Amino acid sequence: MKKDLTRQQHLDLYYYMRLNRAVEDTMVKLFRQNKIVGGLYSSLGQEAISVGTSYALQKKDWLAPMIRNIGALLVKGVKPRDIFMQHMAKYDSPTKGKDGTSHFGDLDDLHIVSPISMLGDLIPVMAGVAIAGRYLGQKIVAMTWIGDGGSSTGVFHEGLNFAAVQKAPFVLILENNLWAYSTPVRKQVPLENLADRAKAYGIDSYIVDGNDVAAVYSTTKEAVERARAGEGPILIEAKTFRRLGHAQHDPAEYVPKEMRAYWEARDPIALHEKFLLSEKLLDAKSKKDIEDKINTLLATERDFAENSPMPPAELAETGVYCTGEECHKIRAKWERPISEVTPPKSSVQAVWTVPGFGSGKSSGGVNAPIHFGDTQPSTGISASEAKSSNGGKPAAKVAAKTAAKKTVKTAASASRKARR
Amino acid sequence: MADGKTNGTNGAKTSEAATAEAQVTFLEAIKQAMFEEMERDPSVVLLGEDVGVYGGAFKTSEGLLERFGWERVIDTPISESAIIGAACGMSYLGLRPICEMQFIDFIVCAFNQITNFVAKGHYLWNAPAPMVIRGPSGGGVHGGPFHSANPEMYFVHTPGLKVIYPSTPYDAKGLLKAAVRDNNPVLFFEHKFLYRRIKGEIPAGDYTVPIGKAVVRREGKHLTILSYAAMMHTSLEAAEALAKEGIEAEVIDLRTLLPLDEETILNSVRKTNKCLVVHEDTKTGGIAGEIAALLCEKAFSDLDGPLLRVTSLDTPVPYAPTLEEYFLPNAKKVFAAAKELARY
Ligand SMILES: Cc1ncc(C[n+]2csc(CCOP(=O)(O)OP(=O)(O)O)c2C)c(N)n1
Ligand SMILES: [Mg+2]
């Protein structure tokens, strides 16, 4: 697997993991200087997941980070200064100080959806992004992450199930770091592999070593391209460990020492570096160059962030509503002919079959084998019925409707037979 | 309660003048609005439970699937959070989804998704969510405690949302179209008692009704009655009876609850000096309380009497017809309250 990657790809993965860690190290310093307004979370030891997964996306693809996915933001093109300023609630931050942490996005350029704190809520939202992208013909993939703990929410189920029935081009990374705050994974889910949940949604899944960045990347790349090709959503469970407490305030004394020691010996950056050195993809000099590059960059970025002012108080009153065109021009980017969608030539195959009972029907047709109780059989639709069911619009679609009815009719009578 | 007749002033001069008017039901008006908006703009999509093949539990989306296809009329699993969340994601790519809640009672299953995700995006990270959440609401049809809700005030308390609750077919169509075209998330409540009972005239062409504007349904000088949705008709009925006793009530249809049309309310109360609020929502935390506060702040010296309210009881909506009738406001209760207020 590792051999499939080019040297540049290996080095990119290394660079972004180092950058990810350096950005977070800088923030720990800022935190200790009381320059960070709220809490500070860490992805120490999980960088391979954020970096390896997001590196498999194209520029046009969409992602929505969770709290421990700063690496993914960096890979997608977010500047470190924006991450610093968000945490410091500065006026020049992407949300101008209205929200903190990774709670920001970019609809127009980077295609990032902002998370909210409520765990799991991004899953249906990103399913919607994926469905909309398909509808517009954009051939995009939507990706988000969820923790082992967050996978217990109801909305995880609703979102993944909806994505699955829609066969949405959606990739969900389940970061199993064994802990949800103080709760061990076994108290969240009575499963050895959380990826097994995919079976219940009728979708494919992968399990990957979350501390092996090349493996994370290759696996995700395969999943992303399968999703893009129309195979439906894919769940990837990345196994890893949360090395620090839930956030800065939490010493995580509930974590067994041996467990911590085991994972500290498997640091994803150290592992990848070892591989790069042994394969001669990296040497002492190029390693030093990378470190220098990161240090210089972060010094500038941190300076910028620290010099940004706090937002003026009155800003609090602004921006609750979009005031119209001058505020936002909302335009869908069509990458398929609009003429395809009205009248519809769907790019998705709508399967409306109940095994053993044939196809269902539309509401204006004759029999509805999938609605046993409430539909009276009728011989057909009158013109007036057809008219009113089209919202009072006569003309072209009546023909389309009758055509649709015909194709269903045989299946419907067949199914009546099947029922007897 | 409402007798099926709508008052002539439906908020549009054009409707009286236009020739090609049609008498349509409240439900048909909603269906037309969705059909025409989808026809006009391919970025409008509909998603909800049973909206496609079946045409919606109340048949409000009948015929849309045949016309617009599987990608635009999406039958979803029974997952309100997923419907709202997915619609929000779609809106980020420039689509304008309409979400149907099969009964509006189920909207609270997606409460978090609406109040935390959808409503806050523009304020926090400059991400507008142009989407409509609509569904059948309200009581009087013996739907019981889980199919009769008026949950509007949960959302009126949420900055970032707009909340509409129309009373006539004309407004239902015009406001739903305006909601689809609005760049903000709009909640659109459809009182199911009105669906097939109320008919009204609708002009032939495209029109919208502005969000955030109340309308005077009946002019009067002795007191102001503020109401909306089904209670609008109840209030008009009471106003007729009051007129026979020499009390001329000015009846205002709020139509939009968020943002509230303060100007129309204040203008009327400054004229009549008395205000009665009638709503089918329960009393505590209903819009009447908000209006009372508004009048205290901005029209205190104009008031000649207390603000009175006629509302449902502070209980869940009971099932038995005898109980529900007792629970709901009616024209008699409005009449009695108005007479009491007129004495000041
Ligand atoms: C719906 C919801 N409930 C509770 C919380 C509070 N909370 C924040 S993070 C967290 C633990 C999350 O654990 P996990 O999903 O495994 O992610 P990890 O922190 O391990 O990355 C909890 C309980 C929340 N954010 N959202
Ligand atoms: Mg966890």
Give the mean model confidence (pLDDT) for residues A86-113: 97
The answer, yes or no, to whether residue B41 has pLDDT greater than 90, is yes
Residue B99: C-alpha distances to residues A133, B111, B131, B256 (Å): 18, 14, 8, 19
Q: Are residues B259 and B324 in the same domain?
A: yes
Query: Residue A365: pLDDT above 60?
Result: no
CA distance B45 to B87: 9
In 3-state terms, what secondary structure has residue A7? helix
Task: Kindly state whether residues B25 and B162 are assigned to the same domain.
Answer: yes
- Domain carrying residue B281: 215-342
Pick the more confident residue, B237 or A404: B237
Decide if B89 and A121 are in contact by the 8 Å CB cutoff: no
Mean predicted lDDT score pLDDT of chain B? 93
Q: Kindly state the average pLDDT of the residues A39-63.
A: 98
**A154 and A278, same domain (yes or no):** yes
Q: How confident is the model at residue A353 (pLDDT cuts 50, 70, 90)?
A: low
Domain boundary among the residues A297, A317, A337 is at: A317
Identify all chain B residues contacting A166, using CB atoms and an 8 Å cutoff.
Answer: 74
Q: What pLDDT is recorded for position B53?
A: 87
Assembly ipTM: 0.88
- A162–B66 C-beta distance less than 8 A: no
Question: Token digits for A73?
Answer: 């933001």
- Whether B14 is covered by a domain: the verdict is no
Tell me, what's the pLDDT at A397? Answer: 36
Average pLDDT over residues B237-242: 98
- How many folded domains does chain A comprise? 2
Q: Are A152 and A244 in the same domain? A: yes
- The number of distinct structural domains making up chain B is 2
Residues A275 and A234 in one domain: yes
Q: Does B7 reside within a domain?
A: no
Q: Looking at the structure, do residues B126 and B172 belong to the same domain, yes or no?
A: yes
Between residues A420 and B324, which one has the greater pLDDT?
B324
| Last residue of one domain, picked from the residues B145, B179, B208 | B208
User: Does residue B58 share a domain with residue B176?
Assistant: yes
Residues 137-166 of B with CB under 8 A from A: 159-160, 162
In a domain, B6, yes or no: no
pLDDT of residue A117 exceeding 50, the answer is: yes
One domain for residues A284 and A359: no
Angstrom CA distances, A41 to A44, A65, B4, B47, stand at 9, 13, 60, 37
Residue A230 scores a pLDDT above 80: yes
Q: CB neighbours (10 Å) of residue A319?
A: 18
Q: A-contacting residues of B 58-77, CB under 8 Å?
A: 59, 62-72, 74, 76-77
Q: Are residues B329 and B255 in the same domain?
A: yes
Spacing, Cα A149 to ligand 1 middle (Å):
6
B278 in a structural domain: yes
Residue pLDDT, tens place only, B138-174: 999 999 999 999 999 999 999 999 999 999 999 999 9
- On whether the CB atoms of residues B40 and A367 are closer than 8 A, the answer is no
User: What would the mean pLDDT of B173-197 be, rounded to a whole number?
Assistant: 97
> Per 3-state DSSP, what percentage of chain A is helix, strand, and coil (rounded to 5)?
45, 10, 45
Buried/exposed A97-136: b ≥16 CB within 10 Å, e otherwise? bbbbbbbbbbbeeebbbbbbeebbbbbbbbbbbbbbbbbb
Q: Is there a domain that residue A36 lies in?
A: yes
Residues A281, A363 share a domain:
no
A163/A158 Cα distance (integer angstroms): 9
Residue A190 pLDDT > 60: yes
- Going by pLDDT thresholds of 50, 70 and 90, the confidence category of residue A355 is low
Q: Do B177 and B38 sit in the same domain of this protein?
A: yes
Q: Does the residue A340 lie in any domain? A: no
Query: What confidence tens digit (pLDDT) does each residue in A28-38 have?
Result: 999 999 999 99
In a domain, B161, yes or no: yes
Cα A148 to ligand 2 centroid, rounded to whole Å: 5
Residues B238 and B176 both lie in one domain: no
Three-class DSSP category at A151: helix
Q: Which of B174, B208, B242 finishes a domain?
A: B208
* pLDDT at A347 (0 to 100): 63
| Domain annotation covers residue B15 | no
The confidence band for A410, taking pLDDT boundaries of 50, 70 and 90, is: very low
Pair A157, A262 in one domain: yes
Res. A359: pLDDT tops 60: no
B173/A contact by beta carbon, under 8 A = no
**Rg (Cα) of chain A, in Å, rounded?**
26
Tell me, yes or no, whether A366 and A299 share the same domain.
no
Same domain, B231 and B189: no
Q: Which ligand is nearest to the CA of A101?
A: 1
Known catalytic residue: B147? yes
Return the closest-CA partner of residue A333 out of A187, A135, A176, A126. Answer: A135
> Tens digit of pLDDT for each residue in A301-343?
999 999 999 999 999 999 999 999 999 999 999 999 998 887 7
Write down which residue in A273, A301, A317 finishes a domain: A317
What average pLDDT does this structure show over A370-385?
34
Q: Report chain B residues whose CB lies below 8 A from the CB of A123.
A: 85
Amino acid at B263: E
- A101/A103 Cα distance (integer angstroms): 5
Residues A253 and A372 in one domain: no
Report the percentage of chain B scoring pLDDT > 90: 92
Domain of B137: which CATH number?
A: 3.40.50.970
Question: Quick one: pLDDT band at residue A349, thresholds 50, 70, 90?
Answer: low
- Which phi-psi region, left, alpha or beta, contains residue A36 (left: φ > 0; alpha: ψ -120 to 50)? beta
Spell out the residues 6+ positions from residue B324 whose beta carbon is closer than 8 angstroms to its own.
Answer: B139, B140, B142, B148, B317, B318
- Following DSSP, what letter does each residue of A112-140 receive, concatenated? BPPP-SSTTTHHHHHHHHHHHHHHTT---
The mean pLDDT value for B61-73 works out to: 92
Tell which B residues from 15 to 54 touch A, by Cβ distance under 8 Å: 22, 24, 28, 31-32, 34-36, 38-39, 42-43, 45, 52-54
B25, β-bridge pairs: B199
Q: Which of B208, B241, B272 is the last residue of a domain?
A: B208
Contact list in B for residue A330 (CB cut-off 8 A) is: 94, 96, 128, 130, 183
Mean pLDDT of chain A: 86
Assess if residue A343 is contained within a domain. no
Ligand 1: residues within 6 Å at CB?
A 68, 117-119, 147-150, 153, 175, 177, 179-181, 242, 246
Full residue range of the structural domain in which residue A409 is found: 349-419
Q: Does A331 touch chain B (CB under 8 A)?
A: yes
Q: How confident is the model at residue A357 (pLDDT cuts 50, 70, 90)?
A: low
Tell me whether residue A327 is in a domain.
no
Domain CATH code at residue B336: 3.40.50.920
Same domain, residue pair B34 and B130: yes
What number is the average pLDDT over the span B34-42? 96
Asked, for residue A255, whether it belongs to a domain, the answer is yes
B9 found inside a domain: no
First vs last C-alpha separation in chain A: 55
Instruction: Find the mean pLDDT for residues B19-40.
Output: 90
pLDDT tens-digit map of B113-137: 999 999 999 999 999 999 999 999 9
Asked if B93 contacts B149 with a C-beta cutoff of 8 angstroms, the reply is: no
- Catalytic one of B147, B191, B233, B279: B147
Domain annotation covers residue A159: yes
Quick one: B198 and B286 in the same domain?
no
Q: Do A357 and A286 share a domain, yes or no? A: no
Of A47, A119, A173, which is best to mutate to test ligand 1, by the most ligand atoms within 8 angstroms of its C-beta? A119
Which A residues in the span 110-129 are in contact with B, Cβ-Cβ below 8 Å? Answer: 113-114, 116-118, 121, 123-129
B187 domain-assigned: yes
CATH number of the domain where residue A53 is located = 3.40.50.970
Same domain, B36 and B110: yes
3-class secondary structure, A63: strand
Domain co-membership, A80 together with A202: yes
Kindly indicate the confidence band of residue A370, based on its pLDDT and cuts at 50, 70 and 90. very low
The ligand whose atoms approach the alpha carbon of A178 most closely is 2
Assess whether pLDDT exceeds 90 at residue A157.
yes
- Do A131 and A223 belong together in one domain? yes
d(CA B266, CA B299): 7
pLDDT at A343: 73
Dmax (CA) of chain B? 60
Percent pLDDT > 70 in chain B is 94
Summarised one tens digit per residue, pLDDT across range B214-232 is 999 999 999 999 999 999 9
The pocket of ion ligand 2, defined by CB under 5 A, consists of: A 147-149, 177, 180
Count interface pairs A-B at CB distance under 8 A: 247
Q: Looking at A299, A317, A335, which one is the last position of a domain?
A: A317
A405 and A308 within one domain: no
Candidates A125, A353, A384, partner chain B, best to mutate (most B CBs within 10 A): A125
